[in-house]
Structure 1
Amino acid sequence: MPKELMPIIDKPLIQYAVEEALAVDIETLIFVTSASKHAIFDHFDPMPSLKLRFEQQGRQDLLDKVDILSPEIKTVFIPQGEPLGLGHAVLQAQSLIAQDEMFAVLLADDFIEAPNNPLMALLECAQSTGQTCLSVEQVSPERISSYGIVSPKHWHRGQAEIEAIVEKPRREEAPSDFGVIGRYVLPARIFDVLSHTQADAKGEIQLTDAIKTLLHREGVHAVKLSGQRFDCGHHEGFVMANLHVAMKDPQLRQKVREYFSAAV
């Protein structure tokens, strides 16, 4: 089962990411993933027979859950082949994006609960600067070596130009505690950079390396995440995300409280 289809209560992670993109009027969704993850394609299949059955049963609640994408939304599924890094995955979309366009990258592993759509602040930053904008948050010291870490200049209304970006530094060598999370808005110019980016020791093309090149050429901006993020690529984050959503539902909240009261 693809991890992107792991559910937060009753909705898979990938669907939360798609809904986040649709909410800021993104009209083309490009899924770059392993060819073996055909279940992701199946999840977004229109399923007309199932929709008809729910309509006949008067089950609008179920109809809303399968009626995910309107006909106006274009979806493209690209098999990456080998998992050769995030930069390589992004590069697969080059032929679908015009040279003067900017595009968003969302990693479904990062489940985000926020009062405002986290993509909106990134898009506003990108539109005003015309440059790469990264979503960042402060990470705990023991997790610094798991992130790309940025060195912001001066924060102003949650945004800052960055002086440096370092991929997975050791804790004592990190330029700050602001880590890049799975939301980016990038200019199409990055494709040329990626196509000339050397693979690392693992044979992977890192998006961070291409961003570093753009940083030296034209500048890159960081935007503080306003909300709560759960790294669902790890057991702890996945469990906490489910508990977080469960506690927002009155019935589930009561059941969770009863369970923990009994367990204690």
Structure 2
Amino acid sequence: MEMRPVRKAVIPVAGNGTRFLPATKAMPKEMLTIVDRPVVQYAVDEAMQAGIEHIIFVTSRNKTAIEDYFDSNPELIASLTRAGKTVQVTQLEKMLPLAGTVSYTRQQVPLGLGHAVWCARELVGNEPFALLLPDMVSYGARGCMAGLVDLYEEVGGNVFGVEQCAPEETSSYGVVAIGESKQHGFEVTGMVEKPAPADAPSNYYLNGRYILQPQIFELLESQERGAGNEIQLTDSMQKLLQKQPFHAQPYTGRTFDCGSKRGFIEANVAFAMLRSDMGEEIYHSVKELLANHESKVKAA
């Protein structure tokens, strides 16, 4: 199989975000902020850190706020400049993508992740691409996707990120079977969706980061609906596994599932404590809150 560079990344942002209602009634869930940056910004930054050149967003109705966010705002820049807020101006200019490096396509009907990825087929073309699920936010010295690019350059084919869960929690995840070890990861010999602990081939689960070959689009086009009556990406990945190699890399950081309220709150606390302008204050505030909570629990 020809080793072609990974230049494009697909970021699906078409979901309704029902778990965060009423907050997401009038705004995309991907625009909810972790400290002071929207969730989707973390995925874009991770892709750029990995050397991605072009971002493809798969959107839906009521997602124009995402397009506006990654566009210029001359009036705001002029207002900040007049006020002498040069730090904010620099920050906004730095996060603005270069012209022509961001594209948008719509998923008109909510038919699942597999269908959302398929909607990007014309923009991706016949080349490998990265896929980042924005709800899954990487937390570590290096983003998960950068490591996957290292693994891809070693073995080619299809690769994805994995993390370990407690053995009794495998029924909540897509779990992989482990094959031969590689320098930056290991071969994947199988995938099982939400297996019972007794049937799980390992406790390594998919963490929402992938590099896939374009042949996945052909499989997604004819993929029947699966779990939840939706077109599932993992169903087509399992078929592609019979034709092409798959490898995985354990992520050395941590991934927060910001599609859940618990994961979103944990991510806010974790990223806030990393900040030089607030980290120490947040740390002491969290300690105080925990102490107060423990004392109330003991008194109850």
Verify same fold: TM over 0.5: yes
Query: Which one of the candidate residues 266, 283, 292 is aligned to 1:253?
Result: 283
8 Å contact from structure 1 (residues 54, 63) kept in 2: yes
Structure 1, gaps ≥5 residues long: none
Query: Which one of the candidate residues 71, 91, 97 is aligned to 2:118?
Result: 91
Inter-CA distance 76–108: structure 2 relative to 1 (3 Å threshold):
same
Say yes or no: does 1:78 pair with 2:78.
Answer: no
The corresponding residue for 1:27 is 53
Inter-CA distance 213–37: structure 2 relative to 1 (3 Å threshold):
same
- Residue 245 of structure 1 aligns with an amino acid whose one-letter code is F
Q: Deviations over 1:56-105 (max 9, x none)?
A: 32323322443322324521122212221111111011101231x21111
8 Å contact from structure 1 (residues 132, 186) kept in 2: yes
Cα drift, residue 172 of structure 1:
2.4
Q: Give the secondary-structure state (helix, strand or coil) at the position aligned to 2:110.
A: coil
Q: Deviations over 1:155-199 (max 9, x none)?
A: 344411111001222232221111001110111121112112222
8 Å contact from structure 2 (residues 70, 97) kept in 1: no
Inter-CA distance 88–178: structure 2 relative to 1 (3 Å threshold):
same
The corresponding residue for 2:13 is none
Cα drift, residue 216 of structure 1:
0.8
Query: Which one of the candidate residues 116, 119, 122 is aligned to 2:142?
Result: 116
Instruction: Name the CA distance, whole Å, in 2 between partners of 1:183 and 1:92.
Output: 18
Alignment of 1:114-263 (within 5 A): 114-200=140-226, 202-248=228-274, 249-263=279-293
8 Å contact from structure 1 (residues 159, 223) kept in 2: yes
Cα drift, residue 18 of structure 1:
0.7
- 4+ residue stretches of structure 1 with deviation over 6 A? none
Cα drift, residue 215 of structure 1:
0.9
TM-score by length of 1: 0.92
Structure 2, gaps ≥5 residues long: 1-23, 296-300
Inter-CA distance 172–133: structure 2 relative to 1 (3 Å threshold):
same
**Aligned residue-pair number:** 263
Instruction: Name the CA distance, whole Å, in 2 between partners of 1:116 and 1:74.
Output: 23
- Residue 179 of structure 2 aligns with an amino acid whose one-letter code is K
- Residue 215 of structure 1 aligns with an amino acid whose one-letter code is L
The corresponding residue for 2:72 is 46
Identity within the alignment, %: 37
- Residue 20 of structure 1 aligns with an amino acid whose one-letter code is E
Query: Which one of the candidate residues 94, 97, 106 is aligned to 2:132?
Result: 106
- Residue 256 of structure 1 aligns with an amino acid whose one-letter code is V
Alignment of 1:52-63 (within 5 A): 52-63=78-89
Deviates more, 1:112-121 or 1:52-61: 52-61
Cα drift, residue 111 of structure 1:
1.3
Give the CA RMSD over aligned residues: 1.9
Q: Give the secondary-structure state (helix, strand or coil) at the position aligned to 1:82.
A: coil
